[in-house]
Amino acid sequence: MFTAIEKKNKSPFLSMQKQKRTEKLKGKAQRKAQSKKSIVYVQASFNNTIISLTDEYGKVLAWASAGSVGFKGARKSTPFAAQMTAEHVCRKSVEKGFGQVDVFLKGAGSGRETALRALQASELQILSLSDITPLPHNGCRPSKKRRL
């Protein structure tokens, strides 16, 4: 973008503007890196528990599921698997330097409460807790009535 202008007018003023813009971008990037607040999404289905750690902007920094921690088959849906998954994500978040989290719970699986207890027991400070489980307002249209 600046190449055509710089070739025509080789003034130091244009190069100074370019430097200022790059400094501003560095500043924004530094502010994002210094942010110590993050968001934890706990998705508890009947078959698995998936926990994601994101920054304030929604960028996923760490994640774990019961399958990635090492559970297979029917053991993935247990509360113990959800606890181990939450502890795994907590370790990753502490390594990255996050201390405060907002927690969003989704789903009705068996690992939902256990994952929340594991998050509370860790070094993370929970600022807010929200349930974002989708609920049908009226559901799908029922099939036509059976005639006998």
The CATH number that applies at residue 74 is 3.30.420.80
Tell me what the mean pLDDT of segment 9-22 comes to: 51
Taking the model in full, what pTM does it have? 0.72
Residue 81 lies in a domain: yes
- CA-nearest of 106, 94, 85 to 41 is 106
Residue 102, number of CB atoms within 10 A of its CB: 16
Give me the residues paired with residue 129 across strands.
Answer: 103
For residue 113, pLDDT over 90 is answered with yes
Q: Is the pLDDT score of 28 beyond 90?
A: no
Confidence of residue 148 (pLDDT cuts 50, 70, 90): confident
Amino acid at 67: G
Average pLDDT over residues 55-60: 92
Asked if the structure places residue 29 within a domain, the reply is: no
Domain contains 12: no
State how many domains the chain has.
1
Indicate the pLDDT class of residue 61, thresholds 50, 70 and 90.
very high
Domain ranges, residue 112: 35-131
| Backbone phi and psi for residue 10, each to the nearest 5 degrees, phi listed first | -90, 65
